[in-house]
Copies of this chain bind each other. A is one copy, B any other.
Amino acid sequence: MKTLIVVNFKTYAESTGTNAVQLATIAEKVATDAGAIIIVVPQIVDVFQITRRVSIPVYAQHVDGISFGGNTGHILAEALAEAGAQGTLINHSERRLGLAEIDAANQAAQRANLTTIICTNNIATTKAAASLCPDFVAIEPPELIGSGIPVSKANPDVVTGAVNAAAGVKVLCGAGISKGKDVKVAVELGTDGVLLASGVTKADNPEAALRGLVEFI
């Protein structure tokens, strides 16, 4: 399959509200020019307006393992889907869930036809997450997040270990990714792409950063 570049907007000022719309528009332009797949992951409150403005895939940052009902303040998969989201992160390192919650969230999202990416922190939890049958697992070793050192370079063994442990479930890797060669190495290690955030959202020139990322795809 084609390599995925998944850009998590987090809650940075540079990727909130109208800035988020602008960044998604840039991502769409780069994706179209390069024939690449770039997925944007804005804050949940921004999902609706971004799906109205771009045609690249928009994922949510979180979903809860709930159904229609009394769940004030929770994120419902069907509501995300109706707002135009095509997928969602689950269990991001900044929004960890219980094991039964991850399973329920993954099932809720798949029931609403959302593509699921379960985030993990090591090989053991990657194996566990993969056994829940998400569409993707995304391994991000916590010690490398924000280190500026790409996981694909700092610890290639954890990436290949995750690919093996995932037993057929597709794997993304994250932490420290910012350049096209990081993506290239990640793919050579057996992944289907990368998950990154500040490498794009905090870049002086996000468009140039995105063009760099898809350079070797």
Give the interface of A toward B (CB within 8 A). 8, 10-13, 16-18, 43-49, 60-62, 66, 68-76, 78-80, 82-83, 85, 89, 91-103, 120-122, 124-125, 127-129, 131-133, 146, 165, 197-198
Nearest 10 CB-CB pairs, A to B?
A: A62-B73, A73-B95, A17-B82, A128-B128, A72-B94, A127-B131, A13-B68, A72-B92, A61-B73, A96-B98
Answer whether A43 and B79 are a contact pair too, CB < 8 Å, given A11-B68, A68-B13: yes
Most buried by B among A8, A60, A99, A103: A99
Answer whether A83 and B133 are a contact pair too, CB < 8 Å, given A74-B94, A103-B124: no
Name the CB-closest residue of B to A42: B79
Name the CB-closest residue of B to A63: B73
| Apart from A10-B70, A72-B89, A131-B131, 15 more pairs, CB < 8 Å | A10-B71, A11-B72, A11-B76, A12-B70, A45-B47, A45-B60, A49-B83, A72-B92, A72-B197, A74-B95, A96-B99, A99-B99, A100-B120, A100-B125, A128-B129
List 6 A-B residue pairs with CB atoms under 8 Å apart, sorted by A's residue number. A10-B69, A10-B72, A17-B83, A46-B79, A103-B122, A127-B131
CB distance from A129 to the nearest CB of B (A): 7
Q: Is the CB of A129 within 8 A of B74?
A: no
Name the CB-closest residue of B to A12: B68
Chain B residues contacting A124 (CB-CB under 8 Å) are 103, 131-133
Which of B16, B66, B131 is A11 in contact with, Cβ under 8 Å? B66
Docked complex Cα distance between A198 and B60 (Å): 27
Most buried by B among A8, A100, A129: A100
Q: Is the CB of A103 within 8 A of B125?
A: yes
Chain B residues contacting A44 (CB-CB under 8 Å) are 44-45, 73, 75
Name the CB-closest residue of B to A90: B73
